[in-house]
Amino acid sequence: MAIVTLLTDSGESDHYVAAIKAKILSTNPGLTIVDISHKIAACDIAHGAFVLRSVFRDFPKGTVHLVAVDAAGNRGEAFMAIQLEDHFFVSVDNGLLGLVSDKPQQNLVELNAINAITTSFPEKDILAPAAARLASGVTISSLGKPLPFFKKMTDRHVKATKKQILGHVIRVDNFGNLITNIEKDVFETLSKGKAYMINFGGEKMRRIHNTYHQAEQGDCFLLFNSLGLLEIGIYKGNANELLGLSYDSPVNIIFEE
């Protein structure tokens, strides 16, 4: 079963997503299309990268991911197809895919380089046919000319020492929970045998929960979520609103000797 996933900032109130799917199915009606999300904030590269990074490895290797966030791109940004971690991606080289994985690409080609077309809807006219052909078994090298590299962007990194971990909120999810870039493995390595204090906003906590419902309704919780990232929330509430924290807010863990 060949799978094509879709991640766009097109929303759901217009014809755009349906037109992309129609183009894919017109190329090969036997393909399976899976929607990741179409509610990425318009042109929000960080949001799109977080969502894609969080889920693409859950799909079978060989899945083709059509990524159309800020798909019009900027002047000089090429359309590309890339093989990365045994998955395929078609997108514009706007930096989003550079935030998805630290691994080197296995193959990389520029799309629309030969007999180039000009279009105001590249998701449909350039990316969709390429995704459908890849999912149908066409080799990536046949889709365009080789590219030596693609754009990498610098993401927020955790600063960790024996005394503290300094991280940031990297996503406010649909529930208002605050997802940070503090990884469980890093915390467990540094916290062995030590007491700790977690500071965020004006709050200080000494406990990390295992499940959401270990907190009482309206109380703050901290846990490592299914992505292995520290998450802050208000049980049955909205931490984004009630704590006044948002994207890029600092979260500090101090270890006591």
Q: What pairs with residue 60 in β-bridges?
A: none
pLDDT digits (tens, 9 = 90+) for 84-93: 999 999 999 9
Mean of the per-residue pLDDT values of the chain = 94
CA angle 63, 64, 68 (to 5 degrees): 140
Residue 219 lies in a domain: yes
Question: Dihedral through CA 95, CA 50, CA 122, CA 112, nearest 10?
Answer: 40
The CATH code of the domain that includes 224 is: 2.40.30.90
User: Which pLDDT score is estimated for 69?
Assistant: 97
Shared domain for 131 and 167, answered yes or no, is: no
- End of a domain among 117, 146, 175? 146
8 Å CB contact between 65 and 110: no
Q: What does the block give as tokens for 207?
A: 């406990």
Shared domain for 35 and 115, answered yes or no, is: yes
Note down the domain range covering 195.
159-256
Shared domain for 243 and 126, answered yes or no, is: no
pLDDT at 34 over 70: yes
Domains in the chain, number: 2
Query: What percent of the chain is predicted at pLDDT more than 90?
Result: 88
User: Which pLDDT score is estimated for 253?
Assistant: 97
Shared domain for 107 and 180, answered yes or no, is: no
User: Which pLDDT score is estimated for 167?
Assistant: 96
Query: Does an H or E element contain 32, and which?
Result: strand 32-37
Shared domain for 93 and 204, answered yes or no, is: no
Residue 80 lies in a domain: yes
Residue 151 lies in a domain: no
Confidence of residue 175 (pLDDT cuts 50, 70, 90): very high
User: Which pLDDT score is estimated for 186?
Assistant: 95
User: Which pLDDT score is estimated for 1?
Assistant: 67
Shared domain for 169 and 218, answered yes or no, is: yes
Shared domain for 101 and 38, answered yes or no, is: yes
User: Which pLDDT score is estimated for 113?
Assistant: 87
Shared domain for 183 and 118, answered yes or no, is: no
Measured in whole angstroms, how far is the alpha carbon of residue 72 from the centre of its chain?
19
Shared domain for 139 and 165, answered yes or no, is: no
User: Which pLDDT score is estimated for 257?
Assistant: 74
- End of a domain among 86, 112, 146? 146
Identify the weakest region by mean pLDDT among 69-78, 124-133, 138-147: 69-78
- End of a domain among 146, 170, 189? 146
Residue 99 lies in a domain: yes
User: Which pLDDT score is estimated for 156?
Assistant: 76
Q: What pairs with residue 223 in β-bridges?
A: 209, 231
Q: What does DSSP say about strands 3-8 and 32-37: parallel, antiparallel, or unpaired?
A: parallel
Shared domain for 92 and 38, answered yes or no, is: yes
Confidence of residue 190 (pLDDT cuts 50, 70, 90): very high
The CATH code of the domain that includes 88 is: 3.40.50.10790
User: Which pLDDT score is estimated for 243?
Assistant: 93
Cα–Cα dist 96/66, whole Å: 12
Write down the residue that tokens 């990194």 correspond to. Answer: 157
Confidence of residue 255 (pLDDT cuts 50, 70, 90): very high
Residue 235 lies in a domain: yes
Shared domain for 76 and 190, answered yes or no, is: no
DSSP state of 152: -
Residue 152 lies in a domain: no
Q: With 0.85 as the threshold, say if the pTM is over it.
A: yes
pLDDT at 202 over 90: no
Identify the weakest region by mean pLDDT among 73-77, 205-209, 240-244: 73-77
8 Å CB contact between 253 and 165: yes
